[in-house]
Amino acid sequence: MSDIVRTEGLTKSFKTKYGRVDALRGIDMNVAGGEFVMLLGKSGCGKSTLLNIIGFMDSPDGGKYYFDGEDVSSLSNDGKADYRAKRLGFIFQQFNLIYTMTAFENVELPLGYAGVEKSARREKVERMLKKVGIGDRADHLPSEMSGGEQQRCAIARALIMEPKLILADEPTGNLDEDSTEKIMQLLKEINAGGTAILMVTHDTDLTVYSDRIIKMKAGMISDETE
């Protein structure tokens, strides 16, 4: 399958009061359509920076970034927002749900923003919540759900626009072993449906779920295994 994500010589540095920090030093990597790729590395190696650039939350200082064959290295802020809204789904370690909204309302957000009619939204959201296993939690606030259920809600929100790529930044970091396994099974099912997944993790035990592993060290790719 063709590449969903391809980067060539991606660089990114930050100015701090201690001097310049080179977070990325020339990253060449790719994620093929339908592939499950894990990004491993120690804290501070640049995994999250790379994920933020791929997820259009940040812009690279140098290099090229191609998304689904299009050069998106220097998109405007609105252009990046549109890609995030329509082509990507994000899953975070801290779930990042809006705590004053129910599970239904959280999952409904991207659809509402896309201009989908209320009746069509209701049907899609209910179907998605059932798919991720929290159909009976639709009217519950995040504070009324367990960590695993909140993460499922976040996954439902990430999937609702049927993106080609899901970016997951340590999605199991705040979960117990049992919940971790259930979330990974869910992600594997999603991947089997054709959605590419790029996941950042510290946990080497989770690599069994992936098709390919990319290891990072000090802002560069140190190893790649399948």
Smallest distance from another protein to CB 8, Å = 25
| Binding positions for another protein, rule: CB under 8 A | 55, 57, 77-78, 81-86, 88, 90, 92, 96-98, 100-101, 105, 109-110, 112-115, 157
Q: How far is the CB of 29 from another protein (least distance, A)?
A: 22
Q: In this complex, which beta carbon is closest to another protein, that of residue 96 or of residue 207?
A: 96
Decide: residue 136, CB within 10 A, 0-12 exposed, 13-18 middle, 19+ buried: exposed
Nearer to another protein, 100 or 222 (CB): 100
Q: Count how many Cα atoms sit within 13 Å of the Cα of residue 20 in the half-sphere of its side chain.
A: 7
Cβ proximity to another protein: between 11 and 59 the closer is: 59
Neighbours of 42 (CB within 10 A): 11
Helices (H), the chain: 47-54, 77-86, 103-113, 118-131, 147-159, 177-192
Separation of alpha carbons 213 and 199, rounded Å: 10
Please report how close the Cβ of residue 67 comes to another protein at its closest, in angstroms.
Answer: 14
CA separation for the pair 178, 182 (Å, rounded): 6
Contacts of 26 (CB under 8 A, 6+ apart): 9, 10, 11, 63, 220
Q: Which is nearer to another protein, 86 or 124 (CB)?
A: 86
Q: Which residues contact 54 (CB under 8 A, 6 or more apart)?
A: 5, 7, 65, 167, 198
Shortest distance, position 104 Cβ to another protein, whole Å = 12
* Distance of closest approach, residue 103 Cβ to another protein, in angstroms: 14
By beta-carbon proximity to another protein, the closer residue of 88 and 129 is 88
Min dist CB 93 to another protein, Å, is 13
Q: Residue 33 Cβ, how far from another protein at the closest point, in Å?
A: 21
Q: Which is nearer to another protein, 98 or 192 (CB)?
A: 98
Choose between 80 and 131: whose C-beta lies nearer to another protein: 80
Pull the structure tokens for residue 32. 């093929």
How many other C-beta atoms lie within 10 A of the C-beta of residue 70?
11
